[in-house]
Structure 1
Amino acid sequence: MRSENDAAYVEFVDASRSTLLAYAWLLTADGHAAEELVQETLVRVYVRWRRLRSGQPLAYARRILSNLHTDRWRSGRREVLRGEVPETAYSSDPVTTDLVRALQQLSPRERECVVLRHYLDQSEKDTAATLRISVGAVKSYTAKGLARLRPLLSATIEEERHV
């Protein structure tokens, strides 16, 4: 019985890890922090795997990841910035890099709503359930986030046209 649960968990991790990592990276704009969030999320999913297996484990994992991210920015701890260049860039695509930089200009809740709704293509109801907020709050945060993103991204596009 245990090996069957473990095999199902490994299959879940293989199928969902890249989605969770992309979500975490868009929230944090930091490859190392994204990896840490995903690892902690997967540990918490594993602890409850027997109950989650028959339900919607990916939805639960997204909720855990969102909560961990929220806890991280609420904690008030600040990371020390270093002048060192990382071993590898998380993404070399300038469009993705500009998008992540623009997302960092949003409030954490706006960023979560925009990423869940428009990058992970979740419905308003699913986004509300993941973040444990009302559907109206999802609509509001998403609208405000998109309104703030448009000028940031259009300025980047204009700069690229002139280069």
Structure 2
Amino acid sequence: MSSDDEYTAYVSSRLAWLTRVAFLLCQDRARADDLVQTAITRLYVRWPRVSQVENLDGYTRTVLVHVFLGEQRTSWWRRVAVTREVPETARPCADLDQAEDLRAALASLPPRQRAAVVLRFYCDLSVDDTAAALGCTAGTVKSQTSRALASLRRLLEPRLEGNPT
């Protein structure tokens, strides 16, 4: 199998997963597609060397997170108004209102806190793996995660108790 065929097979098998992670990070389907496109392009450029990495999924996820965080720092992000659309779900959710509230609360978090929560709880990474993906210390991951969870609790608590706000 050629190097291009290996790359195509890998990306094809991970595309849905990458898109979902990107959507959780940015909360916009079109922007998530753009993030994934940029990440897989960077992966392709380095494929001959990267394909030998022990944890290719981890490497790919780190590239995606770096693309997301890098985009947050650019002036493009400040100039463009992004609109939210409800994502298509792969499986039905028991409580659509609660899922929408959770997505909105997640979207309200600062980018690094959102990335920490997505990597820790959606991607199920350890603190050390999350720190490596974000390029920071384990202590920073713990503090970002703690702040994010406190914000999510504060935003979602009235809804969880059955008192809509």
TM-score range, shorter chain: 0.7 to 0.9
For the aligned residue pairs, the C-alpha RMSD in angstroms reads: 2.1
How big is the shift at 1:150? 1.1
Q: Secondary structure at the match of 1:106?
A: coil
Percentage identity across aligned positions?
36
| 1:72-111 correspondence to structure 2 within 5 Å | 72-76=71-75, 77-80=78-81, 89-91=86-88, 94=96, 95-111=98-114
The runs of 5 or more residues in structure 2 that have no matched partner are none
| Alignment check: 8 A CA contact 1:91 1:97 kept | no
Structure 1 runs (4+) deviating above 6 angstroms are none
Equivalent residue for 2:137, pick from 131, 134, 138: 134
Q: Which piece of structure 1 moves more, 128-137 or 148-157?
A: 148-157
Separation in 2, partners of 1:61, 1:97:
28
| C-alpha deviation, 1:110, in angstroms | 0.7
Counterpart residue type for residue 58 of structure 2? A
Kindly provide the CA deviation profile for residues 56-112 of structure 1, in whole angstroms up to 9, marking residues without a partner as x.
222222111111111211113331357xx96xx423652433222101121111110
Residue 118 of structure 1 corresponds to: 121
Q: Which blocks of at least 5 consecutive residues in structure 1 are unaligned?
A: none
In the other structure, the counterpart of 2:8 is 10
Matched, 1:152 2:150: no
Change over 3 Å in CA distance of 1:81–1:129 after alignment to 2: closer
Give the deviation of 1:151 after TM superposition. 2.2
Q: Tell me the distance in 2 between the aligned counterparts of 1:131 and 1:140.
A: 13
The change in CA–CA distance for 1:145 and 1:81 in structure 2 (over 3 A counts) is closer
